[in-house]
Amino acid sequence: MSHVVSPELLSRFDVPGPRYTSYPTADRFVEAFTEQDYIQALEQRRAGSMALPLSLYVHVPFCESVCYYCACNKVITKHHERAAEYLRYLSREMELQVQHFGQGHSVSQLHLGGGTPTFLSDAELEDLMSMIRRHFTLVPGGEYSIEVDPRTVTEERLQTLARLGFNRLSFGVQDFDPAVQKAVHRVQPAEQVFSLVQSARKIGFESINVDLIYGLPLQTPESFARTLAQVNELRPDRIALYAYAHLPARFKPQRRILAAELPSPRDKLAMLSASLDSLVGGGYVYVGMDHFALPTDALAVAKRQGRLHRNFQGYSTQPDCDLIALGVSAIGRIGATYSQNAKTLEEYYDSLDQGRLPIVRGLALSRDDLLRRCVIMSIMCQGQLLFESVELGHLIDFKTYFARELEVLAELANHGLVTIDDSGVQVTSTGWYLVRAIAMVFDRNLQVDRDRARFSKII
């Protein structure tokens, strides 16, 4: 069988590494970055770039039941009345934010994540969207997406989401195999997902994404091949294919997964290799990292046209912009800063009760951070580095500044992952499948601190 990328090459570069939804990565955030630092960044934005559109992220932490693989910040509860209290605090947070940078800013990208955003009732979702529209202006043609647990929605609920302004859906599927679903405590029949996707298409959503995970308990290359065949039949516009990282010491729900039921590293590698072959062979464009899209989807078009961007939600078609993050544990970006809200509801509520934004940590980026962010995102999104444009943008001599990195890249060129000439570095078609490994070459923090155990493996 001819592979899109050989299992041997995948195995060679199966090392721990960041996902680069930001650089520096969130593990580098410090508590010395405070609410005052964030307010200063907001006020600088207000003074200098009011015309630029924003991205908006809202974290809804609640889930009715726990999925054992989950590493997200969530609150497991069947008490839906807790959502009303949370929305009151979200409203307070929005009011505090706009006090510092102004009312009515344009938003071109909105994402509701969690947890399970569809834990909220239709009326609560309507309240949330009204709240957002009171403080921000959602511009025509923007990307307005919501993560959906198929077990929490009906066709009628999908119609409500469309009426509220959402034009993109992301369904959490993970695996269609009933035994695997039972092992991870997320039972949802394939027929249910197929019916919802069909309804979403009929309603007119612009893009439908499906999340998959390989490496879950009881998965085998054969069982996952059946899931892949069903996904090819389902034909979502986008697919996010994630590797399960078993870190029970860090994520308590994962302690319910029996390590003996996890697939071997060899089987996990076989699943990834088969996934690449199946999805690319089925007509999907490999966008990068773990993202696939149909050729007609905006994400695939953006990649072809060199307009791909990357933020905390993954790859995006929207221009690189500031991100206002709302809700418990949410991470935002304003100018040359990153910030994160309190991770527990108690701490989040307490800050807002005191009239303070719930910022608990963050980072002000140095000149070197900004340079390396530019380089890493160029690799992750455009698949190339043009020395002259980096030199002009950051006033450096590329080959001198990154002499050590270019030596390492030369080794990657020997494996066929990149090509290097006097003008720059180009990621090859093979290299795209290992783009994290290429980006890691420029990560100064990994050079200084070789302990990568905090990260999941690339594969």
Write down the pLDDT at residue 417: 94
Q: Domain ranges for the chain, please list them.
A: 1-23+365-459, 24-324
Q: What is the CATH number of domain 1-23+365-459?
A: 1.10.10.920
Concatenating the DSSP letter of every residue in 391-412 gives: HHHHT--HHHHTHHHHHHHHHH
Average pLDDT over residues 41-47: 85
If one compares 101 and 138, the residue with the highest pLDDT of the two is: 138
Give the pLDDT confidence of 114-144 residue by residue, as tens digits. 999 999 999 999 999 999 999 999 999 899 9
Average pLDDT over residues 295-308: 92
Average pLDDT over residues 144-150: 95
Give the pLDDT confidence of 402-439 residue by residue, as tens digits. 999 999 999 999 999 999 999 999 999 889 888 989 99
Write down the pLDDT at residue 50: 56
Whether the predicted pLDDT of 456 surpasses 70? no
Concatenating the DSSP letter of every residue in 51-109 gives: TSPEEEEEEE-EESS--TT--S--EE-S-THHHHHHHHHHHHHHHHHHHHH-S-EEEEE
Average pLDDT over residues 348-363: 98
Whether the predicted pLDDT of 33 surpasses 80? yes
Write down the pLDDT at residue 338: 96
Average pLDDT over residues 307-313: 85
Give the pLDDT confidence of 6-31 residue by residue, as tens digits. 878 888 887 778 888 899 999 999 99
Whether the predicted pLDDT of 206 surpasses 90? yes
Confidence of residue 330 (pLDDT cuts 50, 70, 90): very high
Q: Which two tokens stand for residue 398?
A: 């590329």
Mean of per-residue pLDDT scores for the chain: 92
Superfamily, domain 24-324: tm_1862 like domain (3.80.30.20)
Average pLDDT over residues 38-60: 85
30-63 burial string, b = 16+ CB within 10 Å, else e? eeebbbebbbbbbeebeeeeeeebbbbbbbbbbb
Q: Which of 52, 147, 89, 140 is nearest to 97 (CA)?
A: 89
Average pLDDT over residues 61-67: 93
Between CA 49 and CA 427 the distance in angstroms is: 33
Write down the pLDDT at residue 314: 83
Whether the predicted pLDDT of 389 surpasses 50? yes
Between CA 216 and CA 183 the distance in angstroms is: 8
Give the pLDDT confidence of 263-287 residue by residue, as tens digits. 998 899 899 889 999 999 999 999 9
Average pLDDT over residues 293-304: 94
- Find all residues with CB under 8 Å of 373, minimum gap 6, and list them: 22, 23, 24, 365
Whether the predicted pLDDT of 49 surpasses 80? no
